[in-house]
Chains A and B, each alone.
Chain A
Amino acid sequence: MDVVQFSKEIRRQTLRCLHSQGSGHVGGSLSIVDVLAVLYSKHMHVDPKQPKMADRDRLVLSKGHAGPALYATLALKGFFPEEWLDTLNKLGTRLPSHVNVNLTPGVDMTAGSLGQGLSCACGLALANRLKGVKRYVYVITGDGELQEGQNWEGAMFAAQKQLDRLIVLVDSNKLQIDGATKDVINVEDICAKFASFGFDAQRVNGHDFDALDQAITAAKSAQNGKPQCIVMDTVKGKGVDFYEAMGAGVHSTTVTDEQYAAALEELK
């Protein structure tokens, strides 16, 4: 499956997962689908049969509420049966709304209380260094999430410790629950902020597969003692017109039978 088809299938399975619950974090799940498609088709060194393989790349989904998009990706890669996607948030599920390292094969860190993922990823990167594992640690954060001050503690630490195998991917969909990020608390210029914290920072269209691929390739090959940041300009609810048109309300919204059918029609 090429990356275009893979991303389409991740969107379909993400909505399947959310539809099983009838609602959920639709917008921020759909906005990261394309980077997940690029990562898991071209970059992540992982083995679905050995999800805890020592010599693997790690992904910390710091915006843990986008779990459904990661679950769809992992299910399609064969980490667990696709039927699990129909169990989102049901008591005893392996797929909680926010990601949990102890429940889901392929999930490398628990997240959900925003702002903690970058720090945890620093710990994973340090662990790799101590063990001599030369693999990458990816972190996906939201742009609104960068309002949490702990991110900047993590950023300073990553630069100080020269964690150049740490790659921060910022999902800049420009919306948060209470409105446009620029109207709530402006986080821009994200690239300049990370650069000033000692990162190499790039900005790309987060729905352009080639641009994402090139940016990730460049970040991996930098190896210059600087942690890496890629700010991805994205659209919340990407791929489904009526979700894209919802604005901030798409953060957590319904996936009714009718909406699900209409979305699948659009994602054919």
Chain B
Amino acid sequence: MELRKEYVNELARLMRENDKIVVLDADLAGAGGTKPLYKEFPDRCIDVGIAEANMACIAAGLAAEGFVPFIHSFVPFVARRALDQIAVSVCYSEQNVRIVGFDPGVHTTSNGGTHMSFEDIATMRAFCNIAVLDVVDGVQLRKALPYIVEHKGPLYMRFVRKQTDELFDESYQFRFGKADKLADGDDLTIVASGTMLFDALEATKRLQGEGYSVDLLGIHTVKPLDEEAIVASARKTGRVLTAENHSIHGGLYGAVTEVLSARCPTLCDAVAVRDKLTQVGSLNDLKRDYGLTADDIYVRAKKLLATK
């Protein structure tokens, strides 16, 4: 199922249980998938028009009165256009606003260039007290939502609207701030967030086929990061490769190396966007061009393994 459908179905269920949840859109209720909620909850769904800064502050006002507003748009509009509003009226003001960004990084595809953002994790992560989530699939999204409603403090999450790949099954349990261990090994640690987890899994299988044992950590909560899991894995393997659909500056690679440099200095490398302008293209072409494929993970993993 498309993530936006998983999202809206679960949000509708939660809205039936909890009359404090409010949905705000900035003229993308149709594209983002929240439109059906407007019929069932006309009072608690608000389309502010093309005015993301206004939306962030309206949400802050609602949150100040005890509501749990979810604001939505494409990543750069909800997370970048409204950055000062998020900094001051949401984060500094300690309001329980949920900031939901659609189609992170390369997933913007044909809307790329202006609509593509590789810096959202870095900017959000730098704000005090905000939680930052990079979601991999629909099951994870659905299982995370009940927690997201209850979380205390601001929260930013990004996911792909239309993606249909599935990693987890119904037995999956979402644990905020905890890594998902997807493979256990001693030779190399791969830490991947969001949809890069699919590629990381593929690369891991290939490496395993060659006889390497890989510790694979899936990260949905980039902040607060599961430091213990990362340090424990780095101690075991001595080599860490991160993979993220984001700039190499300040995202998952930044978060992981901040922890390791202080607690367990380890040789690391990153599969991430290396200071390259945003652009349009098909998903596969963009992934190849930015070096975000399973192949890229495999090649960098082999280079790290060769240093042992």
Contacts and interface: CB of A to CB of B under 8 A. Distances in A.
Interface in B29-86: 43-44, 46, 48-49, 51, 53-54, 56-67, 69, 84-85
B168 interface: no
Residue with the greatest number of chain A CB neighbours at <10 A, chosen from B59, B62, B84, B89: B89
Contact of B61 (A126, A150, A153, A160): A126
Given A109-B93, A116-B57, A123 B62 contact: yes
Given A113-B88, A116-B85, A116-B88, A127 B61 contact: yes
Contacts of A110: 88-89, 92-93
Contact of A101 (B43, B53, B57, B93): B93
B60 A123 contact: yes
A154 B55 CA distance: 9
Interface of A: 100-102, 108-113, 116, 119-128, 130-131, 150, 153-154, 156-157, 160-161
B94 interface: yes
Contacts of A119: 53-54, 56-58, 61, 85, 89
Given A110-B93, A154-B57, A157-B58, A124 B88 contact: no
26 contacts: A101-B93, A109-B64, A110-B88, A111-B88, A113-B87, A113-B89, A119-B56, A119-B85, A120-B58, A120-B60, A122-B54, A123-B59, A123-B61, A123-B63, A124-B61, A124-B65, A125-B61, A127-B67, A130-B22, A131-B65, A150-B57, A150-B85, A153-B48, A153-B54, A157-B51, A161-B46
A146 B44 CA distance: 29
Contacts of B44: 130
Contacts of A123: 57-65, 69
A126 B63 CA distance: 11
Given A110-B89, A153-B51, A120 B57 contact: yes
Contacts of A121: 61
B58 A126 contact: yes
Interface residues of B, number: 30
Nearest to A150: B53
Given A100-B93, A119-B54, A120-B89, A156 B49 contact: yes
Nearest to A124: B61
A31 B87 CA distance: 28
Contacts of A125: 61
Nearest to A126: B62
B102 to A, nearest CB: 21
A127 B92 contact: no
Nearest to B58: A123
Contacts of A109: 60-61, 64, 89, 93
A122 B92 CA distance: 19
A118 to B, nearest CB: 8
Task: Name the 7 nearest CB pairs between A and B, nearest first.
Answer: A123-B61, A119-B57, A127-B65, A153-B54, A110-B93, A153-B51, A123-B58
B88 to A, nearest CB: 4
B66 A127 contact: yes
B65 A154 contact: no
Contacts of A101: 64, 93
A101 B60 CA distance: 11
A30 B44 CA distance: 40
Given A102-B93, A157-B48, A120 B64 contact: yes
B302 to A, nearest CB: 48
A111 B85 CA distance: 10
A122 B58 contact: yes
Residue with the greatest number of chain A CB neighbours at <10 A, chosen from B48, B49, B56: B48
B165 to A, nearest CB: 37
Residue with the greatest number of chain A CB neighbours at <10 A, chosen from B43, B54, B84, B92: B54
Contacts of B22: 130
Contacts of B60: 109, 120, 123
Nearest to A119: B57
Nearest to A110: B93
Contact of B67 (A100, A122, A130, A157): A130
Given A101-B93, A109-B93, A120 B61 contact: yes
Nearest to A98: B88
Contacts of B53: 116, 119, 150, 153
Contacts of A108: 64
Contacts of B49: 153, 156-157, 160
B61 A122 contact: yes
A259 B46 CA distance: 50
Interface string B86-125: 0111001110000000000000000000000000000000
Given A154-B54, A157-B54, A126 B89 contact: no
Given A120-B57, A122-B57, 11 more contacts: A109-B61, A110-B89, A116-B89, A119-B57, A119-B61, A122-B58, A123-B59, A123-B62, A123-B69, A130-B44, A150-B53
